[in-house]
Chains A and B, each alone.
Chain A
């Protein structure tokens, strides 16, 4: 067995790892101290090991490290890099969607991929997006509510941004009158 080098971008940082050819991405990431990537089953069922590869959720326990060469990976550690929570994270706290928190990184990443492509998802779409993330604690209601709330918060942030802009211009217009 010859070790191989892979180059990946993780949470915006270029990284170079020496791995064994049969290493699974999950093991590589945890070895590199991305502990937010959890090990729940190693058979692609539970989604605790979810990371985003080029923006898409995948189970890192079913992907070889070698397959990740050249990709951009987002783990939970990269979701709030400066400590400022993503609206999904805030919504998870507001809605009591976290119990033990073991499934939470995977859920948040799945939700993030969903909202990136579908800012206004239906409840069914949220449930589909979370279908690969088993949670034994919550019964899924609160996580689903949290994702819907985060979507709304995102939209409102977008809207209110627009609103304050237009509000300001209206105010300026008034001033000019």
Chain B
């Protein structure tokens, strides 16, 4: 955007790129620690059961077994595994180990042994007698009177209505939707269902824990939230926070699945019990049982429109399940309302939701955080309304969309588990996203051409039909008033800077983007930034990598710290160059005068001067938070081809036009978008964790849980629509979540365009397509 910038806005290499392409040992598991034990968790075979009797003596006696822990051996501290700011808005309903099993895969016991094989053998030797309890697998029955109570323990807190298995409940209304519907010319109401999707980071959850030479508990772990994890582990293991040291090395992808304390507590407990280093790594199968997933939802949405397309009322009711534990239960579902409904203006909005417990895999944070579910429903209805009103789907969206200067009141009602702050729209590129996206997919021509093709009688062997569809979305950038971050910067002799941030780069490129912001502010090249991140001993606090907060919040902290360092540098340079500081500026690894005199001092000379003459360490830190969460905006267009004989949907082209504020590193921003699109297309077409009647996952492998591969991906077009966000560092908002929201509904809408069938359930499987076609033919 701003051509005077030399680092921000440039497609620079990732600061950690070299070590990643050369395969250097940079990830959690890439170390050998002498004497390290292998930890393993015994998973519950039952969806709902009580341990009547557990005998670990045979396991303990197995040579090579160093510890076997059950609920009898560990403190009972109610907590949540959700990595959120204190006090976490998720219920405290989870225990390190418990006598009650609430899902297949729940923790029965944990062992630490000299080898993986011995650990496996030890698990087989643990004798458990269960009292099997009736279980709840279906969302709809959880709240019924007489249903088994999943959280009947007295010590859990923060559960909305434990007796009816309701983890969380939200109801907010603005205006009066019923009146709105009475004024409407067209009212559309449908139920939509979304599935359980898993993150499938290629690196599984893995934690290594040991006691250092001061007997402090060190936890080296694949996490997005090192600081929250430190606090939570300390609480659960009853240690002072200062006795725990969490290290986040390079992370092999997270997508929200690592915004969660999945292994750190139990691994730490085993390290304490054995006083030996312990590693626990999930197998891929364990990931599917014991890690987290996207909350499945049943959404009922009702939208009322005037004949001219004006939206008059929008009502969404959600029944979601959080699985057996309430991790992120309220906040994910709150987002389904607060980040979805307000994209279209209407005086009447109502959002209601119940999040229920079921004896199923635990849901949690997942990129998009409640929005993909909501947008699937809302964007499907928008498409149907456009069709019924005879308005172009792009135009209907433009007519109703939120605009620059608007205040979104619903988000104020639906804050992070409590009342939040109203959202002001200070930057909005949505109209441009729609225009440029439509142009890129050749919207007008293809809408017409494919509609006509579907009508014209074609050769009888022509089983292929094409269509194009659109969907829009918005997200946030950090949690207003909650998320905060700190950064610290230190100058070295060679003019390089140590940038220390609590922010957790999990493969998103955060280290690079933060370094670019620092380098830009300090007028140095990117190679002068030495980034170290996500270590609770050596970097300052950061809430962690979630809620699209890193660029805007952590970046804001880096910018502030850099500005302070710059001021200090200018003060020193002013002495060295004998000119007032306000005549100086930092540029090209130097401090130079602004006036004609052209005096300058290199950052290196300045550093030596400061360190050995002035004897000061140029070093600053800064903290940052925002009172608002500026939304990025996105319009996505899909072109599909549907095989009417097999029901297979092939996506041919997917266009993403996204307003992300200013792109700090455009190439990385595109990459974030492309990856999000791939996940969303999987969400739309193939990805689903399927449970059997006992609550077991029947497809816990990549062979059966199908993600799209390189040969399945369509042509991707990514258009970065840059706007200048006043609240963001250098005008940046966020990018990593938003493009995951709308590809699935855009595909669903394109499929409707192609074959005239609407789908109300994800994923849209080939069988569903055939069934839909059959039903359409029947009527």
Which A residues fall within an 8 A CB radius of B? 33, 35-43, 45-46, 48, 75-77, 79-80, 85, 89, 92-105, 108, 126-128, 130-131, 133-144
- Chain A residue with Cβ nearest B251: A100
A141 to B739, CA, bound (A): 15
Question: Which residues on the A side are within 8 Å of B508 (C-beta)?
Answer: 99-100
Q: Is the CB of A93 within 8 A of B17?
A: yes
* Contact partners of A100 in chain B: CB under 8 A: 20, 201-203, 250-253, 506-508
Task: Say yes or no: A98 contacts B284, CB within 8 Å.
Answer: no
Determine if B21 and A139 form an interchain contact, defined as CB atoms under 8 angstroms apart: no
Max chain A Cβ within 10 angstroms of own Cβ: one of B23, B508, B716? B23
Measured CA separation A9–B677 after assembly (Å): 41
Contacting residues, chain B, for A136 (C-beta < 8 A): 199-202, 253, 255, 675, 678-679, 707
Cβ–Cβ < 8 Å partners of A137 in chain B: 253, 507, 671, 675
9 further A-B contacts with Cβ under 8 Å, apart from A140-B709, A142-B671, are A40-B204, A45-B703, A100-B250, A102-B27, A104-B23, A131-B709, A131-B710, A134-B202, A136-B202
- Produce 1/0 per residue, B665-679, CB < 8 A to A: 001101110111111
- Considering the chains assembled together, what is the distance between the CA atoms of A40 and B283 in angstroms? 8
Flag if A93 contacts B13 (CB, 8 Å): yes
- Total residues of chain B contacting the partner, CB 8 A: 56
CA distance in complex: A172, B19 (Å)? 44
B25 contacts A by Cβ under 8 Å: yes
* Contact, CB under 8 Å: B710 / A127: yes
Is B16 an interface residue, CB under 8 A from the partner?
Answer: yes
**Contact, CB under 8 Å: A98 / B711:** no
Within 8 A of A (CB), among B13-50: 13-14, 16-27, 29-30, 32
- Cβ contact within 8 Å between A103 and B22: no
Name 5 interchain pairs, CB-CB below 8 A, sorted by A: A35-B29, A85-B18, A100-B250, A108-B21, A136-B255
Contact of A41 among B199, B670, B702 (CB under 8 A): B702
Contacts of B509 in A (CB 8 A): 99
Interface residues of B (CB under 8 A from A): 11, 13-14, 16-27, 29-30, 32, 199-204, 250-253, 255, 281, 283-284, 506-509, 667-668, 670-672, 674-679, 701-703, 707, 709-711, 713, 716
Q: A-side binding surface: helix, strand, loop or mixed? A: loop
Contact between chains at A102 and B202 (CB < 8 Å): yes
Given A43-B703, A46-B702, A138 and B202 touching (CB < 8 A)? Answer: no
Q: Is the CB of B284 within 8 A of A101?
A: no
Q: How far is the CB of B524 from chain A (nearest CB, A)?
A: 20
In the complex, the chain A residue whose C-beta lies closest to that of B31 is: A35
User: Are A85 and B21 touching (Cβ within 8 A)?
Assistant: yes
Within the complex, which residue of B13, B17, B202 is in contact with A38, where a contact is CB–CB below 8 Å?
Answer: B202
A75 and B23 contacting across the interface, CB-CB below 8 Å: yes
A residues less than 8 Å from B250 (CB atoms)? 100-101
Residues of A within 8 A of B22 (CB): 36, 76-77, 79-80, 85, 89
Q: How distant is B205 from chain A, measured CB to nearest CB, in Å?
A: 12
B675 engages A101 (CB within 8 Å): no
- Given A89-B22, A139-B713, A134 and B702 touching (CB < 8 A)? yes
User: A138 contacts which of B32, B283, B671 (Cβ < 8 Å)?
Assistant: B671
A1 to chain B: closest CB distance in Å?
Answer: 10
Contact B252 A102 (CB under 8 A): yes
Chain B residues, Cβ within 8 Å of A141 = 674, 713, 716
Q: How far is the CB of A146 from chain B (nearest CB, A)?
A: 10
Q: Are the CB atoms of B203 and A102 closer together than 8 Å?
A: yes
Instruction: Tell me how far the C-beta of A54 lies from the nearest C-beta in chain B, rounded to whole angstroms.
Output: 20
Specify which of B199, B710, B711 lies most central, judged by the most chain A CB atoms within 10 Å of its CB: B710
**Neighbouring A residues of B25 by C-beta, 8 Å:** 33, 35-36
A134 touches B707 (CB 8 A): yes
Shortest distance from the beta carbon of B681 to any chain A beta carbon, whole Å: 9
Given known contacts A38-B252, A80-B22, A139 and B677 CB-to-CB distance under 8 angstroms:
yes
Question: Would you give the shortest CB distance from A27 to chain B, in whole angstroms?
Answer: 9
Output the least CB separation between A115 and chain B (Å): 15
Output the least CB separation between A78 and chain B (Å): 9
Whether A130 contacts B21 in the complex (CB less than 8 A), given A40-B203, A41-B702, A46-B202, comes out as no
A94 touches B13 (CB 8 A): yes
B20: chain A residues within 8 A (beta carbon)? 98, 100-101, 104
